[in-house]
Chains A and B, each alone.
Chain A
Amino acid sequence: MSRASQLPAPATAATISARGIVKSYGATPALREVSFRAEPGEIVAITGPSGSGKSTLLLCLAGILQPEAGEVWFAGRRIDDAGEEARSRMRRTVFGVLFQFGQLVAELTAAENVALPLLLSGARRREALAVARTGLDRVGVADLADVHPSQMSGGQAQRVAMARALVTRPDVLFADEPTGALDSLAGEQVLTELTRAARQGGTTVLLVTHEARVAAYADRELSLRDGVVDGPAHEVEYGPGR
């Protein structure tokens, strides 16, 4: 019996969980038996210094990377062993993904960018664009609908990318340093809108960041260090002196 299967069974509903995840890059271990669970609607910050494995964990949970050992479960189903096509379909439907930058298609307007996941899932263009405009409005950038990315500020582009990540009303949004390239006020607006929209839609958010002020937007923190969870379970109580 593998170590992962000895861990508690994951909850169902839209719970996402990892059990005993192991992932390496060549000979360098990135994650060493990491277990984690986020309840539906929770906003969890995944924090840690550079190289702690936080982005790798996010990519494994989102099905972009496949772990070498351990399991990823979503809504009561194991998903890490699903084929690439099935995992890709999940990212277009029940998952949303938001990275630091470089996400918008330069040739498309904001509304067309936001409509893209719907079009890829077979929606009609007119309906997809109408939903996209509502999505832009929801994150406060309705006036950018017909604007191309090259004419937007960094903060505006990130809000459009956020609208796109949320347009399918995903159960889980994976955000990797979403404000890393923005100044503090633009970052604050993105985080405020992101958490507000997620809470309204009941979306679970997994937010990778190395900044405490970003982690403070989340309900709780999962801290990683050297590929393991650095938390209360590992804490040593303050004892008498030696």
Chain B
Amino acid sequence: MKHVVLGLLALGDRHGYDVKRQYEARFPAAKPLAAAQVYATLERLERDGLVAQGGVDRAGGPDRTSYTATPAGRAELHRWLSEVEPPLPYVGAALLTKVTLAVLVADDAAAAGYLRRQRAAHLDRMRELTRLKSDPASSLAWVLAADYALNHLDADLQWIDTAMIRTADLSKEMRP
């Protein structure tokens, strides 16, 4: 959260509500931010010297304090951007857990049925995302978010297809 706020302030000075609005415009597929979360983050960043108050905007409403990223804040943002995101060390997705348990406590047909329904649900979501990104009115931010989600759903689907083929073998191994 801290780096997202720093990143948005690196684009220009903003007050808290504007940070929230910008976040929603740049990451349209993400869960919306609570205003309180933004203000709490700004307070912490200010305490750590990563942002500073830039002035007060009094135009047509309540006073709004705008914030600016300090040189230390920009340096911290660039350090974070240069860091590689480590691949997750443990595989613990609900999908895998459910299929493993379905094979253990039910039977091959039930596990295959679950996989088929899950496949249909994934494909439904992929259709929605494909429609969204094919719409000429969609912004680049939406297209990027849809691409990201589609690639992950596609990877899940490929795993589901392989799992459907492997289910029988898996069941023999788990219940000798």
Contact = CB atoms under 8 A, between A and B. Distances in A.
Contacts of A27: none
Interface residues of B, number: 25
B117 A242 contact: no
Contact of A238 (B102, B123, B153, B158): B102
B106 A239 contact: yes
A238 B106 contact: yes
A216 B129 contact: yes
A49 B116 CA distance: 14
Could you tell me the dominant secondary structure of chain B's interface residues?
helix
Interface residues of A, number: 23
A237 interface: yes
A241 B106 contact: yes
A232 B112 CA distance: 11
B42 interface: no
B161 A216 contact: no
B154 interface: yes
A212 B114 contact: no
A237 B153 CA distance: 24
A236 B114 CA distance: 8
A195 interface: yes
B116 A235 contact: yes
Interface string A211-229: 1110111110100000000
Nearest to B143: A188
Nearest to B108: A236
Interface of A: 49, 192, 195-196, 211-213, 215-219, 221, 230, 232, 235-242
Interface of B: 102, 105-107, 109-110, 112-114, 116-117, 122-123, 126-127, 129-130, 134, 150, 153-154, 157-158, 161, 165
10 contacts: A49-B161, A196-B134, A216-B127, A218-B127, A236-B109, A236-B110, A236-B113, A237-B113, A238-B114, A242-B107
